[in-house]
Chains A and B, each alone.
Chain A
Amino acid sequence: MSIEVRSIHKSFGSFKALEDVSLHVETGELVALLGPSGSGKTTLLRIVAGLEKVEEGQVFFGGEDASIQKVSERGVGFVFQHYALFRHMTVFDNIAFGLNAKPKNLRPPQAEIRARVSELLKLIQLEWVADRFPGQLSGGQRQRVALARALAVRPKVLLLDEPFGSLDAQVRKELRHWLRRFHDEFRITTLFVTHDQEEALEVADRIVVMNKGRIEQVGTPDEVYHDPANVFVLNFLGNVNLFHCRLDDGKVYFGNIGVEIPGVASDNARSANLYVRPHQFQITRDAGTGTSIKAAVAYVNPAGSVVKIDLKRETGEMIHVEISQAEFAALKIVRGDIVYVSLRDVTYSEYQI
C-alpha cells in the first residue's frame, strides 16, 4: 500500500521538528529516511505511524486519509529502535499480541493464531526460542522477534526506527542483508529510519535525505550519491574534499594550475568551491601533462578495501585520497614521497550554498 505525506508541520515547543514535509512512497517500495540526529526523520516516521500528532498536514495510506485514525486503527507495523518487547511475555506471546488484542468478534481462533506465529518464527529462523522470554535473547534475535511481532497483524506498511542502531557491526551487516531479502520476497511497503549512510545506500530502493526538519533530496542510492542535490547531501553521503578555486574560460584554477572540466560554464572569471570525493583523484609519480598538483605524502593507511592517503600541498592544504590496493601496490608510496595528483572522470555541478 502506498504512503503519501502531505505538507506536514510539527514542532515541539519552540523547536520546529518538521517544516512542510511532503513525501510519496510507492506500494512495495523500501525507502530509507536518512539524516543526522535532530533532522526530524524519526518524528516523520512516528507521524506516519500515528504515534505523534501533527499541527498541519495529512497522511494517506493507499489514497485514504489516515490522519483521523488512531494508531491502533492504522494497521501499521512499527519496529522500535530498542525493540520494546514485552518482557513478561514469551516470544510466542509477544508475536501473538496483536492478534490476541483484537476484539472478540475479529480475533482469529487460537489454532489459527498458533499457526500464524509458527509461520513467522520460521520466517525469522527462531522457531526454537518460542517459549523463551525476551531477556534470554541476544540483540539480533530480539530485533527479529520485534519484526515478527509487527508482521503478525499483516500490516499495510512496515515502519522501522533505526532498526539496526543498537547492534554490533557484524550482526548489523547480516540483518541488513536479511531485511533486503525479506523485502524482495514479500514486497511490503517499508519505511525505515537510519543515520548510517552506508546502511541506506546498501538496503534502500530510494533514499530520503533529511536535515533540520526538511527533505533535502529524494532519489535512488545512485542518484543521491553521484548526483547530490546540494552540499549537505554531498557531505552527508561520504567524505569529500573542498577546494576554493577560480573559474575562468571553462577551466578550474587552483592557484596557477588550470584543470579542464566538462560542463563548466563561465563567461566571466569568478571564485567557486570545488568538491571532490577521495576516490576521484589519481596519483602519479611524474608531473605528467602539467594539470596535476604537486604534494607530499603525509599519511598512508593501507588497512581496508581501499588505501587512504593524506597529501599535503605546498600551500599547506590537505587532500584526502583513496586509491585501490592494486594501484597502491604499483606506486609503492611511502610517507614523505613527493607525488602528483590529478582528477579523473570529474563531472561538475554547481551548488547553491
Chain B
Amino acid sequence: MSRRFVEPSILPGFSLTFGFTVFYLSLIVLIPLSMLFFKTASLSPREFWEILTATRTLAAYRLSFGTAFASAGINAVFGVIIAWALVRYSFPGKRIIDALVDFPLALPTAVAGIALTELYAPNGSVGRYLALAGIKGAFTPLGITIALTFVGLPFVVRTVEPVLEELDPQLEEAAASLGASRWYTIKKVIFPVIAPAVLTGFTLAFARAVGEYGSVIFIAGNMPMKTEIAPLLIMTKLEQYDYAGATTIAIGMLLISFFFLAAANFFQWQLSRKYGKV
C-alpha cells in the first residue's frame, strides 16, 4: 500500500465529495450515535452493570437474540429452498413470487405487525388451527419468531439467488462425470459454494431481526420477563424518562450485535482467504 492518502486520479471532485460525505455522515449518523456513549459516561460502572444485568434486561436480551437466531435459522433453510426453486425450476407464478420476495422490505412494519397478529391470534385464521393443535401463536415467543421470520425473509433469498445463478454448470457436470450421485454433488460441490452467501443472508436477517420493533410489538403481547423484546424495554424505559437505563440497554444490544457480526465476518473472511480467488 502506498503512503498517499488518495491515489491520484484525473477525475475531479474528490475533495468535494469526500468533504460532503464525511460532513453529512457525521451530522446525521455519527454525532447522534455518539450520544449513546456520551450518556452512558454519566453513569458509574456499577450502575451501568446493574442495569445491564437486571433480570428483566437479561430476559429481554435472551428473548430478542434467541428469537432473532431462530428466525434467521428458519430463513436460512427456507430461503435456500425458495432461491433454489426460483433459480432452477420453472413453475406457474414464478415471476410473481420472485417479485414478492422483497415484499417484507417494502411493507411498513406496523402493517405487517397488525396483519400477522390478526392471523396468528387464537381466533385468527391461522391461529385457530394452531390452537386446535394446542399451540399458541400470537403473544408468545413463537409469535415473535413468526414476525421476525417475515421481516427477514428477503435476505437469504436475495443473497443466495445470484450465487446459484452464476454457479458454473460445468462444476455439476464434472462431478457427475466423475461418478458422483446427485445428492453427493449437492452436498459436496454446490453447498460449499453457496454457503458463504447463506451465512451472509443469515447474518443480515439476524441483524435486522434483533433490532426489529414495529412488526413485533403487536404480536408479542409485551409481558415483562416473558415476551418483552429488548427494543420494547428501551421504549418502556424512555416512557418512564429513564434515559440512562434506555441508553445502557441500547449499548448492551449494540455490543452483543457487533460481537455476532464480527464473528460472522471473521468466519466469512476465513472462508474467502482459504479458497483464494478464481
Contact = CB atoms under 8 A, between A and B. Distances in A.
Bind each other:
yes
A97 to B, nearest CB: 6
A82 B168 contact: yes
Nearest to B173: A51
Interface in A99-118: 101-103
A80 interface: yes
Interface stretch (A128-136, A164-172, A278-286, A289-297): A128-136
Contacts of B193: 87-88
Given A82-B168, A86-B171, A86-B189, A97 B178 contact: yes
Contact of A82 (B170, B189, B277): B170
Interface in A59-86: 70-78, 80-82, 84-86
B108 interface: no
B177 A72 contact: yes
A308 interface: no
Contacts of A86: 171, 174-175, 188-189, 192
Interface in A153-183: 153
Given A101-B188, A135-B275, A135-B277, A84 B173 contact: yes
A84 B193 CA distance: 13
Interface string B231-260: 000000000000000000000000000000
B53 interface: no
B41 interface: no
A80 B174 contact: yes
A207 to B, nearest CB: 24
A84 to B, nearest CB: 4
Interface of B: 168, 170-171, 173-181, 184, 188-189, 192-193, 274-278
Nearest to A93: B188
A82 B178 CA distance: 16
A81 B193 CA distance: 20
A101 B180 contact: yes
Given A87-B275, A88-B193, A133-B274, A98 B170 contact: no
A10 interface: no
Nearest to A52: B173
B278 A87 contact: yes
Contacts of A76: 177
Contacts of B175: 86, 97, 101
B179 A84 contact: no
Contact of B171 (A75, A84, A98): A84
A149 interface: yes
Q: Which 9 A-B pairs have the closest CB atoms?
A: A135-B276, A98-B178, A84-B170, A101-B180, A78-B177, A84-B174, A88-B192, A135-B278, A71-B176
A296 B179 CA distance: 63
A85 B275 CA distance: 12
Contacts of A75: 179
Nearest to B168: A84
Contacts of A98: 178-180
Contacts of A85: 278
B179 A73 contact: yes
Contact of B177 (A49, A82, A89, A136): A49
Contacts of A82: 168, 170
Contacts of B171: 84, 86
A321 interface: no
Interface range on chain A (Cβ under 8 Å from partner): 20 to 34
Nearest to B169: A84
B203 to A, nearest CB: 19
A319 B15 CA distance: 63
Contacts of B180: 72, 97-98, 101
A101 B276 contact: no
A203 interface: no
A133 B276 contact: yes
A237 interface: no
B18 to A, nearest CB: 34
A82 B173 CA distance: 12
Nearest to A77: B177
A95 to B, nearest CB: 10
Contacts of B176: 51, 70-72
A209 interface: no
A150 interface: yes
B275 A133 contact: yes
Given A73-B179, A88-B274, A101-B180, 20 more contacts: A50-B177, A51-B173, A71-B173, A72-B178, A72-B181, A74-B177, A77-B177, A80-B170, A84-B174, A85-B278, A88-B193, A89-B192, A101-B179, A102-B179, A133-B274, A134-B278, A135-B275, A135-B276, A136-B276, A149-B178
B269 to A, nearest CB: 15
28 contacts: A49-B177, A50-B177, A51-B177, A72-B177, A72-B179, A72-B180, A73-B179, A76-B177, A80-B173, A81-B170, A84-B170, A84-B173, A84-B174, A85-B278, A87-B193, A87-B276, A87-B278, A88-B193, A89-B192, A97-B175, A97-B188, A98-B179, A101-B188, A103-B181, A133-B276, A135-B276, A149-B174, A150-B177
A98 B185 CA distance: 11
Interface string A189-233: 000000000000000000000000000000000000000000000
Contact of A78 (B168, B173, B192, B277): B173
Given A84-B171, A88-B193, A101-B184, A71 B177 contact: yes
Nearest to A142: B278
A153 B173 contact: no
